[in-house]
Amino acid sequence: METTGQLLLTVLMGAFLLGVAAFLARVEDWRSYTPLGAGGGAVGESGYGHAEKPAGLIRWFTTVDHKDIGLLYGLYATIAFVVGGLMVMLMRAELTTPATDVLGSATFYNSLLTSHGITMLFLFGTPIIAAFANYLVPLIIGADDMAFPRINAIAFWLLPPAALLIWAGFFPIPEVIPAQTAWTMYTPLSAGVGNGNQMNVGVDLMLLGLHLSGVSATMGAINFIATIFTERAEEVTWANLDIFSWTILTQSGLILFAFPLLGSALVMLLLDRNFATTFFAVEGGGPILWQHLFWFFGHPEVYILVLPPMGIVSYVLPRFSGRKLFGFKFVVYSTLAIGVLSFGVWAHHMFATGIDPRLRASFMAVSLAIAIPSAVKTFNWITTMWNGKLRLTAPMLFCIGFVSNFIIGGVTGVFLASIPVDLVLHDTYYVVGHFHYIVMGAITFAGMAGIYYWFPLVTGRWYQRTLAKAHFWLWMIGTNVTFFAMVLLGYGGMPRRYATFLPQFATLHQIATLGAFMLLVGGVIWVYNIYVSWIEGPHVQSGDPWRLDETSLNTAEWDWFDAKRETSLAATDGGEEVKADGGEVVDGAPADDAADDE
Amino acid sequence: MARIFDRDTLLDLTVNVIPLGIILFFVVAFVLVDPFGGLDFYGRVLQMGLLVFPFVALAILTYVSGKAIAGDEKRSPVFFQGQATMEGAQTRHEAEADIEAADEAAAAATAEAEAEAEADATDDDADPDTTDEE
């Protein structure tokens, strides 16, 4: 009986494998789109209709085209942003009352807190930047594709399993609970020491997921460095490299040095948890060792996340100011300066741990020094707009919002670099307010500026202008309401990471929650706008939809877009393009033109 | 070397000299003022190392990048960001020449207008030749 069963299974498996083989043989002649096949760069041609690509899902699962991979990164980041956003909405709902009335469980709040941080930083922040970089850098620097297209695809496909591992604790799997370590994963809590529940396998899965996302980021970084160094067109000398590619190059350098260190520290932590090593145990390396290793990665991570958005703003903001970026080389050199100095400031996250006061003093000094390059950029953006011919389009509004929020986030950060101030404000909501001004108010705003600016380039269509502006204003006001309330909460002494609080903090917490709901509404509008416009937005009517030629501010990626449009108009087998051509007649003016008069 | 690091390039690099200056200031300050003198020597070495290492690294990177960027500026045409691969894009040199020409034309026009106004104001003393030219 047993033998029959096994025989049956074998036959079934054989039939299944045959089926898979038949399916693979049917869908595609796999050799037909090796990236370097057919005389150098199937990818360079891939924008001109998609006749050479397989259709449907197979295209997306097998693509090595940098633009397709960029779009995959974008979709992935969007999903992660929605997940992380919904998590924090639950948290903000919980924080409307001093007790745990809404969620009913502080443990669940801690799980959400941990996952929100990790999701936003590793599954949204890094991938959304990779989305822009993958799509645009090769176009702007005149490369056929990334230097290693397959590694590019691998780097992306490591991310979905990373997300599943990081979120594993939330899935209905018996005996697996979510990590509650906060995103910093401080030992001894994260080592599972003591009577808590953090010895659970959910924490191990989260650590493995993080490790996987780090491997992905490192592969991507190597690819960008190789691409920018070796694949540039001849005319793109170092003096001609655009600011966005400079920031991606610097960011990739930071990833190259920072992420492997995180990987090593995570492996050490996993060994401590599962194999009784003592890297971070009191009798071994000590819990402070974790903080040093973590922040040696963690502080550069801040700049890994903020430099490319700064690049996007430096790239987009001049287009709507009617002039070139003021002090272009200042911005480039200050980007590089930030890259180096970011490795010399890690222990300013540890001023309150009781480390040697002389070391604290040194970290304070470098932390004050690193404020200069950031301030230089800010002045350059302001000077670019000064007396410029501003066009308040949606991407420009987000750029201006970026500058405004970055100033508040940056100035609150400079105070924290000072040891005496930090000792008072450490672990309060002031810190939470400060870094959210940067990650939400600046980084995400720049991401939105990029999404709206390049939406016509990617889709050939216009987004809905009114909805985009509603999105901006809801977010601009929502961000400031939420995070300024947090700064004030911190001054009042409200500690971070608590599900409950003293009644005296209730009003400011409720204000913060109100702001967070504005962010939610804005986010819903954004998703709706992007989705609907992608499907049925009006087609752009020229290869220069932002009319950049009028001010001699057009750039290479729009040149590519123009060429692609002309080719696809001429071709009759344009696939998707033809179907969309049957759409309604569109007003020839760009969607944001009317903003000129404002 | 001297050709690459000319006045303009050095001016561009001042942006990184300021953080270097801040670090240098603290090195000097910590050498002169040491409120933790009673502690071990090892910590003192680390304290200085944490300042010296970023200082040296930043100085090297500033030099290398300055050399690469300014060197390429001297060797090949310079375009505005993102325009290098575009057909018919104006180089920075051409754009600056255009602006200068426009400025000169404007200045000439202004000077002419001023001269005319002056001539009108002092009509009695006006040099007949100049008036004729106008």
Using a 10 angstrom Cβ sphere, with 0-12 exposed, 13-18 middle and 19 or more buried, the burial of residue A257 is: middle
Cβ contact A305:A121 at 8 Å: yes
Within an 8 Å CB–CB cutoff, is residue B126 touching chain A?
no
Residue at B86 is within a domain: no
Identify whether residues B49 and B112 lie together within a single domain.
Answer: no
Cis preceding linkage at B54, omega within 30: no
Statement: the pTM of the whole predicted model exceeds 0.90: no
Q: What are phi and psi of A48, to 5 degrees?
A: -90, 70
Identify whether residues B50 and B111 lie together within a single domain.
Answer: no
Does the beta-carbon distance from B84 to A556 stay under 8 Å? yes
Nearest to A85 by CA among A475, A465, A572: A475
Residue at B130 is within a domain: no
In order of A33, A60, A297, the CA distances from A223 in angstroms are 20, 20, 20
Identify whether residues B69 and B97 lie together within a single domain.
Answer: no
Does the beta-carbon distance from B86 to A339 stay under 8 Å? no
The size of the A-B interface in CB pairs under 8 A is 158
Cβ contact A546:A590 at 8 Å: yes
Q: Report pLDDT for A43.
A: 40
What DSSP string describes A318-370? GGGTTSPPTTHHHHHHHHHHHHHHGGG-GGGG-GGGT--HHHHHHHHHHHHHH
In order of A48, A121, A215, A348, A350, the CA distances from A299 in angstroms are 42, 12, 18, 9, 11
B-chain residue closest to A376, CA distance: B15
Using a 10 angstrom Cβ sphere, with 0-12 exposed, 13-18 middle and 19 or more buried, the burial of residue B36 is: middle
User: For A552, which of B12, B20, B90 is closest by C-beta distance?
Assistant: B90
Query: Residues of B78-117 as b/e, b for ≥16 C-beta within 10 angstroms?
Result: bbbbbbbbbeebbbbeebeeeeeeeeeeeeeeeeeeeeee
Residue at B53 is within a domain: yes
- CA pair distance A151, A157, nearest whole angstrom: 10
Q: Report pLDDT for A51.
A: 62
In this structure, which long-range contacts are made by residues B29-37, counting pairs with CB atoms below 8 Å and at least 24 apart in sequence?
A: B30/A358, B30/A361, B30/A362, B30/A365, B36/A356, B36/A357, B36/A358
Identify whether residues B61 and B109 lie together within a single domain.
Answer: no
- CA pair distance A285, A99, nearest whole angstrom: 38
Nearest to A120 by CA among A389, A370, A330, A302: A302
Q: Report pLDDT for A55.
A: 77
- CA pair distance A188, A279, nearest whole angstrom: 11
- CA pair distance A459, A473, nearest whole angstrom: 24
Q: How far is A44 from chain B (nearest CA, A)?
A: 15
Does the beta-carbon distance from B69 to A556 stay under 8 Å? no
Question: Average pLDDT for residues B107-113, to the nearest whole number?
Answer: 84
CA A579 to chain centre: 33
Give the number of domains in chain B.
2
Residue at B81 is within a domain: no
User: For A373, which of B15, B70, B79 is closest by C-beta distance?
Assistant: B15
- CA pair distance A495, A428, nearest whole angstrom: 4
Return the beta strands (E) in A14-93 as ranges.
Answer: none
Residue at B58 is within a domain: yes
- CA pair distance A317, A311, nearest whole angstrom: 10
Q: What are phi and psi of A461, to 5 degrees?
A: -130, 170
- CA pair distance A324, A288, nearest whole angstrom: 47
What is the 3 state secondary structure string of A3-16? HHHHHHHHHHHHHH
Any idea what DSSP says for residue A243?
Answer: H
Identify whether residues B69 and B102 lie together within a single domain.
Answer: no
- CA pair distance B35, B41, nearest whole angstrom: 13
Residue at B102 is within a domain: yes
Measured between beta carbons, the chain B residues lying within 8 angstroms of A321 are none
Identify whether residues B71 and B98 lie together within a single domain.
Answer: no
Q: Which of B6, B7, B15 to mutate to test the interface with A (most CBs of A within 10 A)?
A: B15
Identify whether residues B60 and B99 lie together within a single domain.
Answer: no
Measured between beta carbons, the chain A residues lying within 8 angstroms of B47 are 356, 358-359, 361-362
pLDDT per residue rounded down to tens, chain A (598 residues) = 567 888 888 999 999 999 988 887 776 555 554 444 333 333 444 444 456 678 788 889 999 999 999 999 999 999 999 999 999 999 999 999 999 999 989 999 999 999 999 999 999 999 999 999 999 999 999 999 999 999 999 999 999 999 999 999 999 999 999 999 999 999 999 999 888 889 999 999 999 999 999 999 999 999 999 999 999 999 999 999 999 999 999 999 999 999 999 999 999 999 999 999 999 999 999 999 999 999 999 999 999 999 999 999 999 999 999 999 999 999 999 999 999 999 999 999 999 999 999 999 999 999 999 999 999 999 999 999 999 999 999 999 999 999 999 999 999 999 999 999 999 999 999 999 999 999 999 999 999 999 999 999 999 999 999 999 999 999 999 999 999 999 999 999 999 999 999 999 999 999 999 999 999 999 999 999 999 999 999 999 999 999 999 999 999 999 999 999 888 777 644 444 433 333 333 444 444 444 443 3
Phi-psi domain of B87 (left: phi exceeds 0; alpha: psi -120 through 50; beta: other): beta
Does the beta-carbon distance from A239 to B76 stay under 8 Å? yes
Within an 8 Å CB–CB cutoff, is residue B69 touching chain A?
yes
Identify whether residues B114 and B61 lie together within a single domain.
Answer: no
Identify whether residues B50 and B101 lie together within a single domain.
Answer: no
A-chain residue closest to B80, CA distance: A240
Residues 6+ apart with CB under 8 A from B64: none
User: For A357, which of B36, B53, B76 is closest by C-beta distance?
Assistant: B36
Identify whether residues B3 and B28 lie together within a single domain.
Answer: yes
Identify whether residues B22 and B58 lie together within a single domain.
Answer: yes
Q: In chain B, which among 34-53 make CB contacts under 8 A with chain A?
A: 36, 39, 43-44, 46-48, 50-51, 53
* Full domain range(s) for residue B7: 1-76
Within an 8 Å CB–CB cutoff, is residue B56 touching chain A?
no
Residue at B127 is within a domain: no
Cβ contact A266:A181 at 8 Å: no
Measured between beta carbons, the chain A residues lying within 8 angstroms of B16 are 333-334, 336-337, 373
Residue at B82 is within a domain: no
Q: For residue A194, give both structure tokens.
A: 């003591």
Measured between beta carbons, the chain A residues lying within 8 angstroms of B54 are 340-341, 343-344, 366, 369
Measured between beta carbons, the chain B residues lying within 8 angstroms of A328 are 80-81
Q: Report pLDDT for A189.
A: 93
Measure the CA angle with vertex A552, ends A548 and A557; round to 5°. Answer: 55
B-chain residue closest to A344, CA distance: B54
Q: Which of B46, B50, B72 to mutate to test the interface with A (most CBs of A within 10 A)?
A: B50
- CA pair distance A465, A397, nearest whole angstrom: 12
Does the beta-carbon distance from A365 to B23 stay under 8 Å? yes
